[in-house]
Amino acid sequence: PAPTPSSYVPTVADVPKCAQGCVTDLGGCATGDVNCVCRNTPYLNRLAVCVPQYCNATEVAQVVAFANFVCRSVGVTSLPSPSYAST
């Protein structure tokens, strides 16, 4: 069965490997502190730029879906969109 948001503690290993380098510091939040991570706007904005630099479109979509799932569990429904650097 799929984990329920209330009992589920996300880890860096839950995101695609390409994005793991972007999420390692958790914006200064403790591991598993979903409320802190999901409300840390500067950190989320950095992720929105970092993840598309290292991941393909499918992987970016997986990261976005994961973030939305996790953050909804703490009442955060508005996350920054991925930001693709212009070439």
Mean pLDDT value of segment 26-31 = 88
The Cα 44–Cα 29 span in angstroms is 12
Res. 3: pLDDT tops 80: no
Residues in Cβ contact with 9 at an 8 Å cutoff, skipping those fewer than 6 apart: 32, 34
pLDDT at residue number 55: 97
Of 2 and 47, which is predicted with more confidence? 47
Query: What is the pTM (predicted TM-score) of this model?
Result: 0.80
Per domain, the residue ranges of the chain are 12-72
Terminal-to-terminal C-alpha distance of the chain? 42
Summarised one tens digit per residue, pLDDT across range 39-78 is: 999 999 999 999 999 999 999 999 999 999 999 999 999 9
- Binding residue ranges: 33
Residue with tokens 């993840």: 51
Mean pLDDT of the chain: 87
pLDDT at residue number 58: 96
- Binding residue ranges for heme: 33
* Measured CA angle at 19 (ends 17, 83), to 5 deg: 150
State whether residue 74 is helix, strand or coil: coil
